[in-house]
Amino acid sequence: MTTSAATTSLANLLHRQRDYWASGATPSLDFRLDRLKALRGAILKYQADIIDAVKQDLGRPEFEGYFEVGVISELDYVIKHLRRWVKPRKASLPLSQLPGSAWVQPEPRGVALIIGPWNYPFQLIVSPLMGAIAAGNCALLKPSELAPATSKVLAQLVEDTFDPAHVALVEGGVEAAQALLAEKFDHIFFTGGERVGKIVMQAAAQHLTPVTLELGGKSPCIVDADVNLEVAARRIVWGKFLNAGQTCVAPDYLLVDERVKDKLVAALQQRIQACYGDNPATSPDLSRVVNDRQFDRLVGLLNQGNILAGGGHDRGDRYIAPTLIDGIGWDDAIMQEEIFGPILPILTYRDLGDAIAAINQRPKPLALYLFTRDRQVQTQVLDRTTAGSVCINDVILQIAIWDLPFGGVGSSGLGSYHGKHSFDTFSHLKSVLKKPFWMDMDWRYPPYGDKVKLFQKFIGLS
């Protein structure tokens, strides 16, 4: 298909979606629930294909493949609570506004564009999609071309489940994304890196389109001296090397109290061996790096510091061993960008205040992790740092609590979603004030005369 033909086809698809939304079909609660339940059925139907696809794309073990299908947990939560979310939300009135009533009325935005990443290529398309459907929108999906097997399964699932006038999917690379971003949408939801996030925001600005940006960043993991080192090591190793480190909220680096550094390193080394064996290259439980470009970037980061574990790699298999590195400084290349791979730098601190200052000198992270029993330390870190989310004495699991908003802050993202927060993200929360005719005091109408004192009282000046 030529570029002009593709553009025409896209324009026609968007026209169909706008007409469908304007028809008033999508805001119906029964329609929303029906389509969400249809999506649930489709996930169950395609679950084996989804798991096989992420294995092709990322070498994902079956257990981790089910994290993609696990999006059904959030879907069930949305289906369960949607009837309550769509109801108007009562607002209180000041005495000066009585009699009357006020409320917030959620309404659909219209046609949403959802652009997904390659690292969790199914989950991170479907999770925002359920929010768009729950809020009563039409949606156009653009999965990552860097996970082609999953993109193909998604395309088939969407085609089998939805009228394309309601939900449709466009496959393709950079040109397809550029063509989509040139169009006017009512909301754009993007998950990916900061560089492309800026491009999305610039494109959205041309149409004053609201955006949600789920980005990333270097998520620190602080390990205090007052900690169960064995449990901490177990949880850190799982969170860091899950999906070969290609997780936006993975611990990016460790900041360890120097008093327990050696013991923690030993515990991490033992845990890596327990999880992936003496030769992790043969482990069935370790994912692979997504492509050669990412592989080469990550291998380039291995040429610094002292490797304490791992370091092995094989470009033909896109394999990099779970790796621990120390002897790293804040100015080294590995500390200048999100690692997004199975490499874990270990830095130390003597004073917690210095550790907090070092974190605060850098862009605000998507997640921050803290391992400590000390409540004063917990309070100090919570009060003096900023991050999209914080998890104390564990990693990653905070993003699977549907009552918690998931999103970044600053360069790690804009806006949030999950559960009701997804519903709100894809809704316009319309303010409504209703007044009766039976009382109409004249305090606000000219001639004003000596009404100034009365108005001062109304607004709290006297």
- Which secondary-structure segment (H or E) carries 167? strand 167-169
Q: How far is CA 55 from the centre of its chain?
A: 22
Which residues are 140's β-sheet partners? Answer: 113, 168
Question: Catalytic: which of 214, 221, 338, 391?
Answer: 214
Nearest to 406 by CA among 54, 71, 122: 71
Tokens in use for 243? Answer: 């999906």
Tokens in use for 129? Answer: 């999609």
Question: Catalytic: which of 138, 221, 248, 391?
Answer: 248
Instruction: State the residue for tokens 């104390």.
Output: 392
- Which secondary-structure segment (H or E) carries 390? strand 389-392
Q: In whole angstroms, what is the distance from residue 216 CA to residue 427 CA?
A: 24
Reported as half-sphere exposure (CB side, CA atoms, 13 A), residue 416 has a value of 18
Please state, in angstroms and as integers, the Cα–Cα distance from residue 370 to each residue in 42, 145, 224, 381, following that order: 38, 35, 8, 8
338 phi and psi angles, rounded to 5 deg: -60, 130
Tokens in use for 302? Answer: 């291995």
Q: In whole angstroms, what is the distance from residue 278 CA to residue 262 CA?
A: 21
Length of the chain (residues): 462
List all residues 6 or more positions away from 119 whose beta carbon is below 8 Å from its beta carbon: 58, 243, 246, 247, 248, 290, 340
Amino acid found at 297: R
Nearest to 361 by CA among 218, 262, 188, 243: 218
214 is catalytic: yes
Q: In whole angstroms, what is the distance from residue 89 CA to residue 372 CA?
A: 40
Q: In whole angstroms, what is the distance from residue 117 CA to residue 177 CA?
A: 12
Strands 306-309, 323-326: pairing is antiparallel
Determine how many CB atoms are found less than 10 A away from the CB of residue 317. 12
Nearest to 294 by CA among 312, 272, 319: 319
Tokens in use for 416? Answer: 């949030």
221 is catalytic: no
In the sheet that holds 253-257, the strands lie side by side as 306-309, 323-326, 343-349, 253-257, 220-223, 367-371, 389-392
3-class secondary structure, 272: helix
What positions carry a catalytic annotation?
214, 248
